[in-house]
Amino acid sequence: MNNEELMNIAINESNKALKINEVPIGCVIIQNGKIIAKGYNKREKNNDLLGHAEIITIKKACKKLKTWKLDDCTLYVTLKPCSMCEAIIKQARIKKVYYLLDKLDFKKEFYKTQFEKLDIPNNYQKTISNFFENKRKNKKNMI
């Protein structure tokens, strides 16, 4: 399948969202030229803030492949991913993303959340460092 055919499938997915009064965004993930997952927005329908087309499709792909690492996959989506979806796409290690449209000028992301690091005595630095050090050691021992 070529890029146009795959994007048309994503557009068909977006039409499913439109029919249920969701923001019409559709998504497709392929691996080795074959579709492994597709989805569309269901945020309002499911009262789920993670109900974005990209996240739904990534979760389906992970379930099908039995791994969260989608590093040999490509994602097609009708609208450029928001920052949340972009971060999840990167975490999933998806190789490439194709999108059809940039965000519309009037569709901006609004954040009111403040993040503040607390500077209090704790042993968490040691805990997290030891965890990753042990992971690296175990990985080397497996080779």
Q: Which residues are catalytic?
A: 54
| Beta-bridge partner residues of 99 | 77
**Residue 78 CB contacts under 8 Å (≥ 6 apart), including other chains:** 7, 10, 11, 13, 14, 24, 25, 26, 27, 53, 99, 100, 101
Which residue, chain included where needed, has tokens 């974005």? 52
Which of the 8 DSSP states describes residue 47?
Answer: T
